[in-house]
């Protein structure tokens, strides 16, 4: 066998293995590798992590898994009663690794941007430090492109983009003053921010925008770690409060019975992304993960999405395929 033939076989073999991994894994290859060979979630023990949108869904599941490994927590959302219940569950999960004082319940509407500095100061005053900010609060959308009122575009961007950018800027200014410690900004984006999906134009734009903001931050500030985590369809209640085309309206549907990754599995992958400071990760059940991988190759994505059409894409997204 000549050297060129060997090289050809190695290249084909490499892509073949990748294709198989795309088909069988529920996350990107780098993240999957790190779940086995990267830093364990327990490596974050003792760190202070602030999670917004902690009262339900992905945020709640993430907080529980971090508590299990002794990570000190600030938990924020609007529903204080759910946060108090979550604190109890966290202490149970921690099994002695955390005490009451290690979890700060801080009710907060992230839209209240003028109060962000005050919330941040409260965290620093309480713990004396912050290691990781996880911007997770957010709402999705279901609406036809041409029906969307511009007020919905504004409201969704206010929540999913501007509140995240504002809180992150405060955190970045704080992290930049620290010596010998690297601050970490983490954000829950979406696969919808990596490639457009139908009937969620503002949401796709917002998640793409937040990705762009954070990629710019990473470029400008090499002393800070920036992680973007992009879930596919996850079994949470997020369709209840999803935006529609009309201001103030909520979609009000359940995800029950749909094929979606569990919030618990998503949280393990999310926590692994944070522990290993991965720049970009995504997760989703087949075929979502396969398609998410394909979006990294624009030419391939164009062919696949053209072949599938918007109705198939929508069925996959709604967990009906």
Closest residue to ligand NAP in the complex (CB): 57
By beta-carbon proximity to ligand NAP, the closer residue of 70 and 233 is 233
Q: Minimum distance from CB of 219 to ligand NAP (Å)?
A: 23
Where do contacts with ligand NAP occur on this chain (CB under 6 A)? 52-59, 77-79, 82, 108-111, 136-140, 159, 188, 190, 231, 233-234, 236-238, 241
SS3 assignment for the chain: CCHHHHHHHHHHHHHHHHHHHHHHCCECHHHHHHHHHCCCHHHHCCCEEEEECCCCHHHHHHHHHHHHCCCEEEEECCCHHHHHHHHHHHHHHHCCCCCHHHEEECCCCCCCHHHHHHHHHHHHHHHCCCCEEEECCCCCECCCHHHCCHHHHHHHHHHHHHHHHHHHHHHHHHHHHCCCCCCEEEEECCHHHCCCCCCCHHHHHHHHHHHHHHHHHHHHCCCCEEEEEEECCEECCCCCCCECCCCCCECCCCCCCCCCEEHHHHHHHHHHHHHCCCCEEEECCCCHHHHHHHCCCHHHHHHHHHHHHHHHHHHHHCCCC
The yes-or-no answer on residue 213 being catalytic is no
By beta-carbon proximity to ligand NAP, the closer residue of 48 and 156 is 156
Q: Which of 203, 213, 251, 297 is catalytic?
A: 203
By beta-carbon proximity to ligand NAP, the closer residue of 84 and 121 is 84
By beta-carbon proximity to ligand NAP, the closer residue of 46 and 247 is 247
Q: Minimum distance from CB of 162 to ligand NAP (Å)?
A: 12
Q: Minimum distance from CB of 285 to ligand NAP (Å)?
A: 11
Q: Minimum distance from CB of 62 to ligand NAP (Å)?
A: 9
Which residues are known to be catalytic?
203
């Amino acid at each position: 066998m000549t050297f060129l033939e060997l090289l050809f076989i190695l290249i084909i073999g490499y892509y073949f293995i990748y294709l198989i991994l795309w088909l069988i894994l529920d996350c990107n290859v780098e993240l999957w590798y790190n779940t086995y060979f990267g830093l364990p979630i327990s490596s974050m023990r003792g760190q202070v992590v602030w999670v917004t949108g902690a009262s339900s869904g992905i945020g709640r599941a993430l907080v529980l898994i971090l508590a299990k490994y002794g990570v000190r927590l600030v938990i924020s959302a609007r529903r204080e009663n759910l946060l108090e219940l979550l604190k109890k569950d966290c202490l149970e999960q921690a099994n002695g690794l955390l005490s009451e004082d290690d979890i700060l319940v801080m009710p907060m509407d992230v839209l209240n941007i003028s109060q962000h500095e005050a919330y941040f100061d409260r965290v620093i005053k309480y713990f004396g430090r912050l290691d990781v900010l996880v911007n997770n609060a957010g709402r999705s959308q279901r609406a036809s492109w041409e029906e969307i009122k511009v007020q919905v575009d504004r409201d969704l961007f206010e929540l999913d983009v501007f509140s995240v950018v504002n809180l992150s800027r405060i955190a970045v200014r704080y992290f930049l003053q620290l010596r010998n410690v690297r601050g970490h900004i983490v954000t829950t984006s979406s696969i919808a921010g990596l490639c457009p999906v139908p009937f969620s134009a503002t949401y796709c734009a917002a998640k793409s925008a937040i990705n762009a903001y954070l990629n710019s931050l990473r470029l400008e500030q090499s002393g800070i770690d920036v992680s973007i985590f992009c879930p596919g369809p996850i079994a949470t209640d997020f369709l209840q409060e999803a935006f529609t085309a009309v201001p103030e309206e909520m979609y009000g549907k359940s995800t029950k019975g749909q094929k979606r990754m569990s919030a618990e599995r998503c949280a393990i992958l999310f926590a692994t992304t944070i522990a290993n400071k991965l720049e970009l990760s995504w997760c989703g059940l087949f075929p979502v993960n396969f398609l998410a991988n394909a979006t990294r190759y624009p030419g391939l994505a164009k062919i696949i999405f053209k072949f599938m059409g918007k109705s198939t894409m929508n069925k996959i997204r709604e967990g009906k395929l």
